[in-house]
Structure 1
């Protein structure tokens, strides 16, 4: 009886081993952008475990094979690279790269073909805590007023990016903090030293934020624990 069962048991073990090995193969998909909406073409995506490098496609998308709790590093000339730690259940990754300070970075981004629409890129402005010491500003209004040309701060706290468009309707820019739409009054309680970056979108790129984006968008990213 044992002799007859042995081949069957061996078969079950082989099948389990094969399936278990296959289950270890894991792929993730992702997209790489800048200013939260402009896709980056040809960015390098480096997988730490396998040392594999793939490039983002014409839509900024990528797919890579990873190990459990792996890390990927995304880089492109003219941009500040980012390393992303993958959790066990991570399937999709959205990575936003900050443009390095200075006009040279924009030239790289456009000239190397990472950003297809140079006009859109030049309609954006960015400042990070790596570029400027935010602690020199007492509040967010002073920071925005002092560092972004043409951007106005009204007495009621509204941020005006594209000028006064209407007497009856608000011309205030949309405020986004850590991916969430907020009222401009949050800037009263937000301390500059808690901020990692400020992005200003002035043109049609803001359309992804709906009708309110027509007045421009202020995108603020605050510091997380690892950024302190």
Structure 2
């Protein structure tokens, strides 16, 4: 009788252990905006290990309580604790060690392409700047982001990041202000802006089809 009890208890524990696992997915970013490929992600308790793909996306099996470690040769190691309150989809920002040598290594190891790493590094110095010198947000965008077009003609100028790819649908970028998608940014004074950045190509993929024309990300001083 004791033997059957032991076998039943063992089966219960094994079954319980199986149910304690979960699947966590997400995106690896750096400098808040740019997706990072080939980052190694390890789960301490489940033992699973994966790498982020070309869009910075990853999927990994973890225990109900676990610790994920994100590591890459030119980034500071980042750890994220997993528990019952952790969402199934994460956005994990890892800190890039910004030096000319590391920019070359980031391209060499396939973490980011050369255009993105150059673009990302150029924005580091802009994060805490005072933008009051610009007359409006569109002048700010033209002044800060070479290659980005601002076209007038409608009620409000349109920001074109990826060129005129369609003659039928809008080519205007997606606007995200303080984490919320908005239809207009013309009312925002440059003096209210604490940070502004532009996403293009793979770094805009986290917004799905809405980000197909690129994304303008704005953080206002009210959000801090």
Residue of structure 2 equivalent to 1:192: 193
Show CA shifts across 1:154-204 (max 9, x none): 5634324356789998653332457764313376278322x4x62332x69
In structure 2, the CA distance between the partners of 1:83 and 1:186, relative to structure 1 (3 Å rule), is farther
Greater radius of gyration (CA): 1
Tell me the secondary structure at the aligned position of residue 107 of structure 1.
helix
Partner Cα separation in structure 2 for residue 26 and residue 172 of structure 1: 39
In structure 2, the CA distance between the partners of 1:77 and 1:183, relative to structure 1 (3 Å rule), is farther
Residue of structure 1 equivalent to 2:49: 54
In structure 2, the CA distance between the partners of 1:82 and 1:219, relative to structure 1 (3 Å rule), is farther
Residue of structure 2 equivalent to 1:132: 126
In structure 2, the CA distance between the partners of 1:76 and 1:135, relative to structure 1 (3 Å rule), is same
CA RMSD of superposed structures (Å): 4.9
- Give 1:44 shift: 2.0
Q: Does 1:151 align with 2:152?
A: no
- Give 1:113 shift: 2.6
Residue of structure 1 equivalent to 2:40: 44
Residue of structure 1 equivalent to 2:24: 28
Residue of structure 2 equivalent to 1:73: 69
In structure 2, the CA distance between the partners of 1:209 and 1:56, relative to structure 1 (3 Å rule), is closer
Show CA shifts across 1:133-155 (max 9, x none): 43511375454333222334456
Tell me the secondary structure at the aligned position of residue 126 of structure 1.
helix
Residue of structure 2 equivalent to 1:174: 174
Structure 2: unaligned runs, 5 residues or longer: none
- Give 1:40 shift: 0.6
Partner Cα separation in structure 1 for residue 169 and residue 70 of structure 2: 42
Partner Cα separation in structure 2 for residue 172 and residue 180 of structure 1: 17
Q: When the two structures are superposed, what TM-score results if normalisation uses the length of structure 1?
A: 0.58
Tell me the secondary structure at the aligned position of residue 134 of structure 1.
coil
Structure 1: unaligned runs, 5 residues or longer: none
Partner Cα separation in structure 2 for residue 53 and residue 212 of structure 1: 31
Query: Aligned pair count?
Result: 210
Show CA shifts across 1:45-98 (max 9, x none): 244x54968341665645243451x33232324456654343416445454667
Partner Cα separation in structure 2 for residue 205 and residue 22 of structure 1: 35
